[in-house]
Structure 1
Amino acid sequence: MNGDDVERWFGEYLAAFEACGRGERETDSLLAYYGVPLLVTTDAGFLALTSGDAVVGAVRQQIDGMRDAAYDHTATLDAEVTVLNAASALYRATFSRRRGDGSEVSRLTASYLVTDGREGRRISVLAAHSA
């Protein structure tokens, strides 16, 4: 795995996520970027999403909230890639989700374990950082 490739791939994922947030794509299209199972950890707890339907359901909650908030795009405030080995890397970033007028919807810092397996690159772990 190469850090520049991971950054490019994550940029493609972020563009797809943004399109979902604006209602231009369906949420299930993000299964091209999420692994199944997907492990998610937040202050609210830990989830092991073991089916595509469970992954889409969890992501759909975020997407619905973004659409309700008139979301337009995400600004990446900082990002760092750490290659762990030939099959995985950590992508850590702080994101600002914004409306079309530039006002902030929300801010999130998260770490993603990006893995390269049989189906290609996928996010296998999503860890939201405490505020």
Structure 2
Amino acid sequence: MDSDDVSQWFGEYLDAFAACGRGERDTASLLAYYGVPLLVTTDEGFFALTSDAQVVAVMQQQVDGMRAAGYGRSEALGSEVTVVNSTSALYRGTYSWQQSDGAEIRRVTLTYLVTDGPAGRRISALLVHSS
């Protein structure tokens, strides 16, 4: 893993996620970026998503909320990549989710475990930081 390559790949993921939030792409298209199983941690709990359908369902909830809030774009407020070893890296980012007019919907900090395996590069864990 190389931090520049991870950053570039992650930028592609963020573009795809934003397109889903705006209703321009189907949420299932995110399976090109998420691994199965996918581990998710939030203040509400820990979840091991073990099927494509479970991953899409959880991402669909997020996307539905973004669409309902009038999501237009994300602004990166800061990010960093920590290469763990030759097959994994941690990507931590803080984002402002905004409406088309720039009004902030939500500010979120996330840490992702990005792995490189048989299916290619994937997000294997999603950790949502407390607000």
- Percent identity reads 63
Instruction: Report the counterpart of residue 47 of structure 2 in structure 1.
Output: 47
Instruction: Report the counterpart of residue 115 of structure 1 in structure 2.
Output: 115
Aligned-partner SS, 2:62: helix
Instruction: Report the counterpart of residue 106 of structure 2 in structure 1.
Output: 106
In the TM superposition, residue 73 of structure 1 has moved relative to its aligned partner by 0.6
Instruction: Report the counterpart of residue 31 of structure 1 in structure 2.
Output: 31
CA distance in 1, matches of 2:129, 2:70: 24
What TM-score, normalized to structure 2? 0.99
In the TM superposition, residue 53 of structure 1 has moved relative to its aligned partner by 0.2
Where in structure 2 are there 5+ consecutive unaligned residues?
Answer: none
CA distance in 2, matches of 1:7, 1:70: 27
Instruction: List, as ranges, runs of 4+ consecutive aligned residues in structure 1 with deviation greater than 3 Å.
Output: none
Q: What pairs up with 1:1-131 in 2 under 5 angstroms?
A: 1-131=1-131
CA distance in 2, matches of 1:73, 1:101: 10
What TM-score, normalized to structure 1? 0.99
Aligned-partner SS, 2:94: strand
> What are the superposed Cα offsets for residues 43-78 of structure 1, whole Å, 9 maximum, x if unpaired?
000000000000000000000000001101101100
CA distance in 2, matches of 1:59, 1:118: 23
In the TM superposition, residue 111 of structure 1 has moved relative to its aligned partner by 0.4
Where in structure 1 are there 5+ consecutive unaligned residues?
Answer: none
